[in-house]
Amino acid sequence: MQLSGRGVICVRGGREVFAGLDFEAASGEAVAVVGRNGSGKTSLLRLIAGLLIPAGGTIALDGGDAELTLPEQCHYLGHRDALKPALSVAENLSFWADFLGGERLDAHESLATVGLDHATHLPAAFLSAGQRRRLSLARLLTVRRPVWLLDEPTTALDVAGQDMFGALMRDHLARGGLIIAATHMALGIESRELRIGAVA
Ligand SMILES: Nc1ncnc2c1ncn2[C@@H]1O[C@H](COP(=O)(O)OP(=O)(O)OP(=O)(O)O)[C@@H](O)[C@H]1O
């Protein structure tokens, strides 16, 4: 499986953010997208996820599931956690599993892996920032998708949380998945760097 972009142009609010961007990532590979604030890292993830339309160029996944679109094979984890505060931890996860569709794995197991099995009935409004991030990560485990698009994924995670997340990413890569992560910090796993925009 190979994700590739050729000559990708990103325009936001009528302004060109980047142009002529080429990139690729193969099964088992993590790519860290780096660049100064506003260089278009989040925008690139959103283009791959189908949440924005490129103003030019192409983005394609070769060797994936021919019956599914690229966005249907992606998990997009934005830097906001996309949780409903009034719903419990378990209900939030169930909402995402229903929304994303496809085969779902055991939710309790996912919550145990991210260290939230003691809090399944707690409203998401009561979670700490790191716990909210952990609940978002549980989504990646409950519904399997090969392409993980992660925006500043380690934000708010403590050292143990970063170690746990490093293990999850390594496991995902070992299963043949791929990861594109926008980050200002070390990702915590071996990765290739994709620099966008002018060097700061
Ligand atoms: N909805 C929008 N309308 C217009 N311009 C936008 C919109 N969203 C983002 N932009 C602009 O697009 C550019 C790229 O933003 P983006 O969030 O992709 O950058 P980034 O590299 O992820 O930044 P950071 O490192 O600060 O997170 C910025 O100049 C931003 O102001």
Among the listed ranges 24-28, 77-81, 107-111, 144-148, which one has the minimum average pLDDT value? 77-81
54 lines ligand 1 (CB under 6 A): no
Mean pLDDT of 33-49: 96
Can you say whether residue 197 is alpha, beta or left, with left for phi > 0 and alpha for psi between -120 and 50 degrees? left
CA-nearest residue for atom 31, ligand 1, is: 38
Residue by residue, what is the 3-state secondary structure of 72-107? HHEEEECCCCCCCCCCEHHHHHHHHHHHHCCCECCH
Give the pLDDT confidence score for residue 102 in this predicted structure: 81
Task: Round the average pLDDT of the chain to a whole number and report it.
Answer: 94
Q: Which residue would you say has higher pLDDT here, 181 or 154?
A: 181
Ligand 1 atom index nearest CA of 196: 21
Structure confidence at residue 200 as a pLDDT band (50, 70, 90):
very low
pLDDT tens for residues 98-125? 999 888 888 999 999 999 999 999 999 9
User: ipTM exceeding 0.90?
Assistant: yes
Give the pLDDT confidence score for residue 199 in this predicted structure: 55
In order of start, what are the domains of the chain with their CATH numbers?
2-195 (3.40.50.300)
Q: Which residue would you say has higher pLDDT here, 82 or 198?
A: 82
- Of the chain, the percentage scoring pLDDT greater than 90 comes to 88
Q: Minimal CA–CA distance to 186: which of 163, 168, 47, 198?
A: 163
The pick from 16, 33, 34, 41 for probing ligand 1's pocket by mutation, whose C-beta has the most ligand atoms within 8 angstroms, reads 41
Whether the full predicted model's pTM is greater than 0.90, yes or no, is yes
Structure confidence at residue 84 as a pLDDT band (50, 70, 90):
very high
